[in-house]
Structure 1
């Protein structure tokens, strides 16, 4: 499929989606929102894709919403519902990333601001260049965090630290983000691709079904009481135990060799 605002590359069972509006710091116009969602959906259903990387072209991951598009909509007598805009454009993207039972890595190459930060935070693993940063830009334009930022920040940081970042709108550098747990690793820019590729290749060789079920469990158990969480783990362990990859792992252990996972 041909895209205008993103790049999609598939290699060695890894699909890399690049937000490709570098002159606009990869800010989201409606077209890019539609194309990004379509690419995520395609990668999810593609059995040959076992890991995804999301990144941005140029010096930014994504600056969030393209405000020039919103400015046009504020003209005239038409009332713009920001809530409806979010429900249509960003909510499907965030939910697709979170519910996709494949690992999704954010390659944070530069600034991730506003909804761009939300998309990065929605990813399962976040690896940032030391030159990158995350910014809750909403308060600067008189808005509240959206696209999941309040949810992810509160889960990762707790309410106090989440509110500090939301209320000040300050940029969190990559090293601080690593210390806070907002990113898993902050690495020198020259090493970013090496580190990302190493992680992605390992995940793409892994037991895809078990990885997806692990993601499902982690996303669900925070909402449950301990007895319910234990039961939910047990239910998903039943599913994982019936996969071909589990059988291969047992055979490999008995034969004293490394398993070769097929993702099934």
Structure 2
């Protein structure tokens, strides 16, 4: 996995295990969580671009090659898998990863270059904007393994496409093309595979030039909009405006409008 911050302020996070379908190890998952948390408070990072190497796979899910701790025998006489251990593993692993993407204060773009399956689908869908190569595919593979969807899948899918379509995706586990994913509302835009890096870079740099605080506050408001009542949503919006206008970017935007010039946002 590679992480770099470009001179334009884009944090580029690249999954780099093409031979394993860019499947995520536990260590990689924790590294992504840490990087996203650090990026929230790093003034050098104005936007984040998440993609992968190769032209076949974005992320095929969790790397199941190594046994999890819960699968190894415990002390003599103790149960091999204590009650609640699987739930704790999911909560502390896949769900933390998805929450880290959604809670990051910087906008996150997914550039899906190939197949996204399992937690790889949810990693992409948790991002604020999703670009996909025309060759990309999205597969809710859990049902094929006899598993219930996890990693925040039900939460994300229901909000993006509604309960009926979410059930279709989860129940059948069919491979969904990039074009169909766009038509469902899972993807913002589909581009030719050869153009994906350039378009994704343009989107990320455009966000990096924007008012970082306003974007982060807007992200939080939208993510919470379906979870609360109108009064709560309105109150949080008013507070977000208060926070934004107390910063330099909010004031710069108004000054630039009055002075009829392009604003220069600095990220605070």
TM bin (shorter chain):
over 0.9
Superposition pairs for residues 146-157 of structure 1, below 5 Å? 146-157=150-161
Report whether the alignment pairs 1:8 with 2:3: yes
Superposition pairs for residues 213-232 of structure 1, below 5 Å? 213-232=217-236
SS at match of 2:65: helix
- Provide the C-alpha distance between the structure 1 equivalents of 2:212 and 2:244, rounded to a whole number of angstroms: 10
Report whether the alignment pairs 1:185 with 2:181: no
Residue 205 of structure 2: which of 193, 201, 204 is its match? 201
Match of 2:81 in 1: 79
Alpha-carbon contact 1:221-1:232 (below 8 Å) kept = no
- Provide the C-alpha distance between the structure 2 equivalents of 1:45 and 1:246, rounded to a whole number of angstroms: 18
- Structure 1 stretch 30-39 or stretch 210-219: which is displaced more? 30-39
Instruction: Give deviations 1:194-227, integer Å, cap 9, x for gaps.
Output: 2111111110000000000001111112112223
Distance 1:251 1:84, change over 3 A: same
Match of 2:149 in 1: 145
Distance 1:172 1:193, change over 3 A: same
Match of 1:234 in 2: 238
Match of 2:41 in 1: 45
Report whether the alignment pairs 1:162 with 2:166: yes
Instruction: Give deviations 1:7-39, integer Å, cap 9, x for gaps.
Output: 112101001111111110011222222222222
SS at match of 1:68: coil
- Structure 1 stretch 226-235 or stretch 149-158: which is displaced more? 226-235
Report whether the alignment pairs 1:68 with 2:65: yes
- Structure 1 stretch 208-217 or stretch 190-199: which is displaced more? 190-199
Instruction: Give deviations 1:222-246, integer Å, cap 9, x for gaps.
Output: 1122232222211211111212111
- Provide the C-alpha distance between the structure 2 equivalents of 1:38 and 1:57, rounded to a whole number of angstroms: 21
Q: How much has 1:41 moved relative to structure 2?
A: 2.5
Residue 52 of structure 2: which of 52, 56, 67 is its match? 56
Match of 2:77 in 1: none
Q: How much has 1:91 moved relative to structure 2?
A: 2.1
Alpha-carbon contact 1:64-1:115 (below 8 Å) kept = yes
Gaps of 5+ in 1: 1-5
Residue 130 of structure 2: which of 116, 119, 126 is its match? 126
Match of 1:3 in 2: none
- Provide the C-alpha distance between the structure 2 equivalents of 1:42 and 1:249, rounded to a whole number of angstroms: 27
Q: How much has 1:76 moved relative to structure 2?
A: 5.8
Alpha-carbon contact 1:136-1:165 (below 8 Å) kept = yes
Q: Output the aligned Cα RMSD.
A: 1.7
**TM-score under structure 2 normalisation?**
0.91
SS at match of 1:53: strand
